Amino acid sequence: MKKTFSRSPRQKAIDAKCKDCGYDPYDKGTWRYQIEICPCTDCPLYEFRPVTMKNYDKGDVDC
Ligand code: SF4
Protein backbone atom coordinates (compact mmCIF):
# COMPACT_ATOMS: atom_id res chain seq x y z
CA MET A 1 0.00 0.00 0.00
CA LYS A 2 1.34 3.39 -0.95
CA LYS A 3 2.04 5.70 1.96
CA THR A 4 0.18 8.96 1.75
CA PHE A 5 0.19 12.06 3.88
CA SER A 6 -1.12 15.53 3.50
CA ARG A 7 1.24 18.43 3.32
CA SER A 8 0.59 21.52 5.36
CA PRO A 9 -0.09 24.84 3.60
CA ARG A 10 3.30 26.00 4.92
CA GLN A 11 5.10 23.03 3.38
CA LYS A 12 3.23 23.51 0.12
CA ALA A 13 4.46 27.11 0.04
CA ILE A 14 8.05 26.00 0.65
CA ASP A 15 7.72 23.33 -2.03
CA ALA A 16 6.47 25.94 -4.51
CA LYS A 17 9.30 28.34 -3.63
CA CYS A 18 11.94 25.65 -4.05
CA LYS A 19 10.44 24.47 -7.32
CA ASP A 20 10.44 28.02 -8.63
CA CYS A 21 14.01 28.54 -7.45
CA GLY A 22 15.76 25.31 -8.34
CA TYR A 23 13.82 23.28 -10.88
CA ASP A 24 15.05 23.12 -14.46
CA PRO A 25 12.64 21.10 -16.64
CA TYR A 26 15.45 20.55 -19.17
CA ASP A 27 17.80 19.04 -16.59
CA LYS A 28 17.65 15.39 -15.53
CA GLY A 29 15.49 14.11 -12.72
CA THR A 30 12.19 15.07 -11.21
CA TRP A 31 11.70 18.43 -9.58
CA ARG A 32 11.91 16.78 -6.16
CA TYR A 33 15.19 15.12 -7.09
CA GLN A 34 16.63 18.40 -8.31
CA ILE A 35 15.61 20.19 -5.13
CA GLU A 36 16.90 17.33 -2.98
CA ILE A 37 20.40 17.84 -4.40
CA CYS A 38 20.25 21.62 -3.98
CA PRO A 39 23.79 22.74 -3.12
CA CYS A 40 22.72 25.88 -1.22
CA THR A 41 23.10 24.57 2.31
CA ASP A 42 23.10 28.10 3.69
CA CYS A 43 19.59 28.80 2.35
CA PRO A 44 17.07 29.29 5.20
CA LEU A 45 14.72 26.85 3.46
CA TYR A 46 17.33 24.14 2.96
CA GLU A 47 16.23 22.03 5.93
CA PHE A 48 12.61 22.27 4.84
CA ARG A 49 13.06 21.63 1.12
CA PRO A 50 11.03 18.82 -0.45
CA VAL A 51 12.82 15.54 -1.06
CA THR A 52 12.01 12.35 -2.93
CA MET A 53 9.81 9.82 -1.15
CA LYS A 54 12.56 7.20 -1.53
CA ASN A 55 14.98 9.13 0.65
CA TYR A 56 12.29 10.47 2.95
CA ASP A 57 11.32 6.89 3.79
CA LYS A 58 14.94 5.93 4.43
CA GLY A 59 15.42 8.87 6.77
CA ASP A 60 18.49 9.94 4.79
CA VAL A 61 17.33 13.51 4.55
CA ASP A 62 15.57 15.85 6.91
CA CYS A 63 12.40 17.55 5.87
S1 SF4 B 1 16.58 25.20 -0.56
FE2 SF4 B 1 16.74 27.38 -1.02
S3 SF4 B 1 18.24 27.54 -2.69
FE4 SF4 B 1 17.55 25.41 -2.57
S5 SF4 B 1 15.85 25.27 -4.04
FE6 SF4 B 1 14.95 25.72 -2.02
S7 SF4 B 1 14.78 27.97 -1.97
FE8 SF4 B 1 16.19 27.46 -3.62
Model pLDDT for residues 9-61, shown as the tens digit of each residue: 999 999 999 999 999 999 999 999 999 999 999 999 999 999 887 665 565 55
Nearest to 30 by CA among 14, 45, 15: 15
The answer to the question of residue 63 being in a domain is no
**Ligand 1: does its nearest atom lie under 6 Å from the Cβ of 43?**
yes
* Domain ranges, residue 25: 9-58
> What's the pLDDT at 63?
42
Q: What is the Å distance from ligand 1's center to 23 Cα?
A: 9
* Residue 30 located in a structural domain: yes
23 found inside a domain: yes
pTM of the predicted structure, to 2 decimals = 0.79
End-to-end Cα spacing for the chain: 22
Number of structural domains (the chain) is 1
Residue 1 included in any domain = no
